[in-house]
């Protein structure tokens, strides 16, 4: 794991320092600065994902596992269709979708770049049903699709290393440099639903997630009650500093209400 991070940093150095890439988030059209080649984000994720599965137990609940795989498969198909329609299929290059249910009391789920999705059994009572699960899986997949981890990591690169050459940073601050990846994409207890991204990224993931679930045949209205249940489930657990940067649950629900009519009209394809 550590070796892989270092190898990756060395790759960046050897590759002529940072690739300065300005890209656009689908739907919102927001410009984002992604300094890390997406192919590297994907390959890094695959390694992390393997490590995660080696150290965590898969659920033995066959029915629930099948549900996670079914919802994931339907949303992934919707994502691919969406990108094909927009002529952007190449943006999913390197994606190898996989959906697993992991035995853990945590109310959490995440998706890494490359399409590796994990749902924790602790989330299931909050999801309550298949449509509720589609809300959260659509949302997490949207974070990956919108390259939010790359953006977060790029911002930290700029903020923490600033004018310092990466090579210098690696020599004098190896720990901090390595920490960049871990904070942006560490598969720890905190990553995923438990540790939200910035307000803007959360809204983007909500918007894209609603589109994907609607295209996959799940009624996006479920998002309203899901996020209310989620707010109750995580009530009191969020550290105060997180609350200040994260959209309040009420704001999130209001924003979703505003989006729903358009999503229903343009994207909802009820399952046959
Ligand atoms: Zn989120």
Name the pLDDT band for 13 (thresholds 50, 70, 90). very low
Quote the ligand 1 centre to 183 CA distance (angstroms).
Answer: 15
Catalytic one of 140, 202, 204, 222 = 140
**What is d(CA 58, CA 79) in angstroms, rounded to the nearest whole number?**
25
CB 166, CB 35: distance < 8 Å: no
Mean pLDDT across 239-261? 74
Q: Is 95 left (phi over 0), alpha (psi -120 to 50) or beta?
A: beta
Quote the ligand 1 centre to 205 CA distance (angstroms).
Answer: 6
pLDDT exceeds 50 at position 18: no
pLDDT exceeds 90 at position 28: no
In the residue annotation, 103 being an active-site residue is answered as no
263-270: long-range pairs with CB below 8 Å, 24+: 263/210, 263/211, 263/214, 263/220, 264/214, 264/220, 267/210, 267/211, 267/214, 267/215, 268/214, 268/215, 268/219, 268/220, 269/214, 269/215, 269/217, 270/217, 270/219
Quote the ligand 1 centre to 37 CA distance (angstroms).
Answer: 22
**What is d(CA 167, CA 184) in angstroms, rounded to the nearest whole number?**
20
Q: Which residues, in sequence order, are CB contacts of 125 under 8 Å at separation 6+?
A: none
CB 113, CB 149: distance < 8 Å: yes
Quote the ligand 1 centre to 109 CA distance (angstroms).
Answer: 10
Give the model's pLDDT for residue 251: 87
Least trusted range by pLDDT, from 70-84, 146-160, 240-254: 240-254
Q: Which residues, in sequence order, are CB contacts of 241 under 8 Å at separation 6+?
A: none
Q: How many CB atoms lie within 10 A of CB 255?
A: 15
Quote the ligand 1 centre to 206 CA distance (angstroms).
Answer: 7
Using one digit for the tens of pLDDT, what is the confidence trace for 159-186? Answer: 766 645 544 554 566 566 556 666 665 5
Quote the ligand 1 centre to 81 CA distance (angstroms).
Answer: 22
Give the model's pLDDT for residue 232: 83
**What is d(CA 68, CA 73) in angstroms, rounded to the nearest whole number?**
8
CB 232, CB 165: distance < 8 Å: no
Quote the ligand 1 centre to 197 CA distance (angstroms).
Answer: 6
Give the model's pLDDT for residue 5: 57
Give the model's pLDDT for residue 57: 97
Give the model's pLDDT for residue 66: 98
Alpha helices in the chain (DSSP H): 2-14, 38-55, 62-85, 124-127, 130-145, 148-156, 166-172, 174-185, 199-215, 222-234, 240-245, 249-266
Quote the ligand 1 centre to 202 CA distance (angstroms).
Answer: 5
Mean pLDDT across 183-190? 54
């Amino acid at each position: 794991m550590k070796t892989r991070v270092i190898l990756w940093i060395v790759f960046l150095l050897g590759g002529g320092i940072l690739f300065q890439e300005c890209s656009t988030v689908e739907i919102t059209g927001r410009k984002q600065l992604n300094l890390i080649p997406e192919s590297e984000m994907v390959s890094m994720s695959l390694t992390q994902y393997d490590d995660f599965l080696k150290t965590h137990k898969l659920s033995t609940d066959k029915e629930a596992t099948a549900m996670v795989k079914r919802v994931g498969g339907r949303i992934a198909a919707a994502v691919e269709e969406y990108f094909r329609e927009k002529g952007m299929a190449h943006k999913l290059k390197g994606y190898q979708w996989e959906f697993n249910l992991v035995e853990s009391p945590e109310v959490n789920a995440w998706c890494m770049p490359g399409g590796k999705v994990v749902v924790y059994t602790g989330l299931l009572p909050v999801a309550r049903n298949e449509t509720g699960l589609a809300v959260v899986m659509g949302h997490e997949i949207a974070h990956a699709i919108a390259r939010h981890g790359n953006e977060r990591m790029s911002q930290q690169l700029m903020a923490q290393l600033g004018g310092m050459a990466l090579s210098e940073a690696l020599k004098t601050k190896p720990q901090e440099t390595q920490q960049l990846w871990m904070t942006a994409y560490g598969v720890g207890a905190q990553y995923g639903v438990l540790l939200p991204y910035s307000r803007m990224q959360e809204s983007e993931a909500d918007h894209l997630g609603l589109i994907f679930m609607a295209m996959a045949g799940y009624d996006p209205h479920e998002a309203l009650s899901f996020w209310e249940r989620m707010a109750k489930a995580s009530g009191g657990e969020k550290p105060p500093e997180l609350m200040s940067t994260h959209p309040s649950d009420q704001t999130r629900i209001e924003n979703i209400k505003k989006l729903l009519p358009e999503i229903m009209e343009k994207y909802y394809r009820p399952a046959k």
